[in-house]
Chains A and B, each alone.
Chain A
Amino acid sequence: MRFLLLIIPGGGYAAAAPDQPAPADCIARMTRYSEEMLEAGILRGGEGLHPPSVGARVAFAGGEPTVTDGPFTESKECVGGFWMIEVTSREEAVAWARRCPASDGDVIEVRRVQEDEDFAEDSRKAATVSRR
């Protein structure tokens, strides 16, 4: 089963300036951690995101799209990046999350990814599209 490990950085990332670089030593640690996942054969992908200050939000209240520029002052947490892993259980996913060389205040949210077989039959028919 696949799990998404979402990193929610502490340390003011939600309000970080657009060009604020992550500390080089932190990136080096995270890269080593990712390499360990790759060597274990469980890593399926991973990305880091620019701070919300260079992002935007589209809300659909009332059915009409409304665009707001980042940073998003109302949200206390924001995603900083993710790893997609394939393991045999949620416990294994959590064990990997615990090994992350995260900083004080960081949180990793472990969420199971929906597979085709998790959907009801009628949704499955509607939900499938060929991957390029």
Chain B
Amino acid sequence: MRFMMLMIPKGYEGAPPDQQPPADRVAEMMKFNQAMQDAGILLYCEGLHPPSSGKRVSFAGGKPTVTDGPFTETKECLGGFWMIRVKSLQEAVDWARRCPGSDNEVIEIRRVQEVEDFNEEIKKNIGGFETMQGTARKKPAAKGPKAKAKKPKRKS
């Protein structure tokens, strides 16, 4: 089963748009990424720019309304994530515990929905979706295929 490990760095919700992680933190996190990669469980991982350079679209009343970041009403935000494939939630938790997390960080572990998790009615509606996802992933990026994975972005 697949799990998404969501890195929630406290304070990142108010970080300036150009905030850079310290190189030594990047190196530590790299070792963790490498360990997961060596174990064959890391599917991919990404880091996100701070919410201050993001936007939110809310659908209150069914109509889209756009708000600029940072999002002052939120106490937590996502800094990045890892997508892993392991045998159980416990194994995912064990990996998260090995992360060189800082005092201010929390990792939320969430199981990813697979087609077989849905009931028959829904399966009919999402028939081609797995194939579609595969197609999306195989499409080369505009700048050429992504050859590298990065650590999730960290707050200093």
Question: Footprint of B on A, CB under 8 Å?
Answer: 2, 4, 6, 21-22, 24, 27-28, 31, 34-35, 38, 41, 43-50, 52, 54-63, 65, 67, 72, 75-79, 81, 84, 86, 88, 90, 93-94, 97-98, 100, 102-114, 116, 118-120, 122-123, 125-132
Cα–Cα, bound, A132→B148 (Å): 9
Say which residue of B66, B78, B106, B121 sits within 8 Å of A24 (CB atoms): B121
For the complex, give the distance between the alpha carbons of A104 and B60 in Å.
5
Give A61 Cβ to nearest chain B Cβ, in Å: 6
When the two chains form their complex, are residues B51 and A111 in contact, meaning their CB atoms are under 8 A apart?
yes
Are A58 and B101 also in contact (CB < 8 A) when A31-B126, A113-B48, A114-B46 are? yes
Interface membership of B72, Cβ < 8 A: no
The yes or no answer to B21 lying at the interface (CB within 8 A) is yes
Complex partner residue of B93 from A67, A86, A107, A118, CB under 8 angstroms: A67
- Whether the pair A113, B47 counts as a contact (CB closer than 8 A) is yes
B-chain residues with CB within 8 Å of residue A45 when the two chains form the complex: 133, 136-137
Alpha-carbon distance A84/B139, docked complex (angstroms): 12
Q: Which residues of B have CB within 8 Å of A35?
A: 128, 132
Distance of A6 Cα from B80 Cα, bound (Å): 12
Interface residues on B, range: 35 or more
Q: How far is the CA of A6 from the CA of B79 in the complex (A)?
A: 12
Binding site for A on B (CB under 8 A): 2, 4, 6, 20-23, 26-27, 29-30, 33-34, 37, 40, 42, 44, 46-49, 51, 53-62, 64, 66, 71, 74-76, 78, 80, 83, 89, 92-93, 96-97, 99, 101-113, 117-119, 121-122, 125-126, 128-129, 132-133, 135-137, 139, 141-142, 146-151, 153
Task: Among B44, B57, B80, B136, point to the contact of A107 (Cβ < 8 A).
Answer: B57
* Given contacts A98-B57, A104-B61, A129 and B23 within 8 Å (CB-CB): no
A38 to chain B, nearest CB (A): 5
CB–CB A47/B112 < 8 A: yes
Question: Could you tell me if A116 and B150 are in contact, using CB atoms closer than 8 angstroms?
Answer: yes
A59: chain B residues within 8 A (beta carbon): 101, 105-106
